[in-house]
Amino acid sequence: MNKLIFSFLFFSTLAAAQRPDTTYSQPFRPQFHFSPRINWTNDPNGLVFHNGEYHLFYQYNPFGNKWGHMTWGHAVSKDLMRWQELPPAIAEDKNGMIFSGSCVVDVNNTSGFGKGGKTPLVAIYTNHREKNQSQHLAWSLDDGRTWTKYDKNPVIDLNMADFRDPSVFWHESSKRWVMSVVLPHEKKALFYGSPNLKDWTKLSEFTAPQGEGIWECPALIEVPVEGQATSKWLLLLSIQSGAPAGGSGMRYFIGDFDGTTFRSDFRPGDVRYVDYGKDYYAAITYNNTPRRISLGWMNNWQYANDIPTSPFRGAMTLPRDLKIIKTDTTYELRQQVIKEFSPLTSHSYQWRGIDTKQLNQSLKQKRIPGDNYVLTVASELDSNLVVKVRQGVGEETLIGYDAASRQVYVDRTKSGQTSFSKNFPGRFSAPLKLRDEGISQPERTMVRLQIYVDRSSVEVFANDGQVTLTNLIFPKPESKGIEFVGGGVRSVTIRNVESTWK
């Protein structure tokens, strides 16, 4: 059954690839975010770097553009920006669907899956069937192109309906593999240890219940503290409801991990969010790279099956470099778009001054292209700022800074198509601190926003990634206007972004 399904998927993909392909020029097709050529995608899975390739596995429905028949889709990249989509990797079979998980490079062949001197890639994923979720293994000896499922699966089975999303890494000081996995409804992250990826022993558990919905997609990683010779441990968790913008979103904790137990530094009730937008979920990090690089799913479970895209549905966020900084009183997460993004950009427009009216006239005169770019704006801290992007007849997406409340926001109420869900339109805000990088740093006098505008999304990074807001938008193709409102703007740079599909 497994071979039959895989053969069908492979030849279906091959046949589709032989037809004329115009899908990457669709009005809502992301130009610098990954999306599959056709069909549904959600969580990124198995992020790993191996033999010069970044692998992106992802939840994929080979048979349609709504959730179902979960299989691991597969794409590879040399730079995390230009992706080559490959045939699906690990297929649904008679034993169940292939839910989220991770992938490791078993350099020392602890699993015994390596043969002939070849280093195995080992995938650890949740096998889902009615009333049971358990953790399974598969391995590859050809750089992830073909996979063999372990014949003694499952490797962990608690006989529970909801027990999922394993994230695995090698913990050097304890010389073992460590897995974080969740009991979603109990809001617990469980930690397991193994010498060989096959035999697992429970180590501990972590919980910090709040009012949000179920937990999913844990990821525990060690991150150096910026400017210090120490590191802290970052635990990422996705929540299916109760996020700041409504619906699904992500929390994080910073603390210490001794190889057995994770202890958070945060006080009870101190809730930190990874992203304050509506569309950031299930982000995990890359294994086998010295950098801490995350990638998330750009959607929200409130309307994920209904967004107006076809023949694909779902896309990934921009990859982000993660770092931890020490403030006066605590540790905090910072996120920035990876450096590999810069080669895609070309200089288009630069402005400095104090007259916003003059700025807007200049933008119109130069006819700056407006559906695929990164915009950087610096504005005075005590002045309100509004940037209107993807502006057209009756359409505009507002990115702003409210000086009174010290908040950055995105308002997509009139961003284009919104009627497919009552939960889609709205204004979503994030608090912005004035001094965010420790005692030695003075208070800021300017607010700096980096706004990444793609055909169907905006990702906003405020003050060097102190807060981020990720949101989908669905404007008409002709809605390309850019306009500034407010008297505090002091500098603007706009750079065109090359399509990664060329």
Of residues 21, 43, 162, 275, which has the active-site annotation?
Answer: 43
Q: Rounded to the nearest 10 degrees, how much is the dihedral formed by the CA atoms of 342, 346, 350, 356?
A: -90
Q: Among candidates 232, 325, 319, 335, which has minimal Cα distance to 49?
A: 319
Nearest of 392, 416, 397, 366 to residue 469 by alpha carbon: 397
Distances (CA, A) of 276 to 190, 224, 241, 431, 432: 26, 24, 13, 9, 11
Q: Which residue has the tokens 């770019």?
A: 373
- Residues 130-141 as b/e (b if ≥16 CB within 10 A, e otherwise) read eebbbbbbbbbb
CB 72 within 8 A of CB 123: yes
Torsions phi, psi of 3, nearest 5? -65, -35
Question: What DSSP element (H or E) covers 3?
Answer: helix 2-18
Residue that the structure tokens 């006080």 belong to = 267
Residue 464's Cβ-count burial label (10 Å; 0-12, 13-18, 19+) is middle
How far, in Å, CA of 138 to CA of 245, rounded? 37
Contact 203/191 with Cβ under 8 angstroms? yes
- d(CA 262, CA 169) in angstroms, rounded, equals 14
Count CB neighbours of 183 within 10 A: 18
* Among 213, 215, 184, 241, CA closest to 423: 241
* Locus of tokens 């610096």: 378
Helices (H), 268-398: 356-366
**Alpha-carbon torsion, ordered 84, 86, 90, 91, to 10 deg:** 130
Determine whether 265 is an active site residue.
Answer: no
Active site residues per annotation: 43
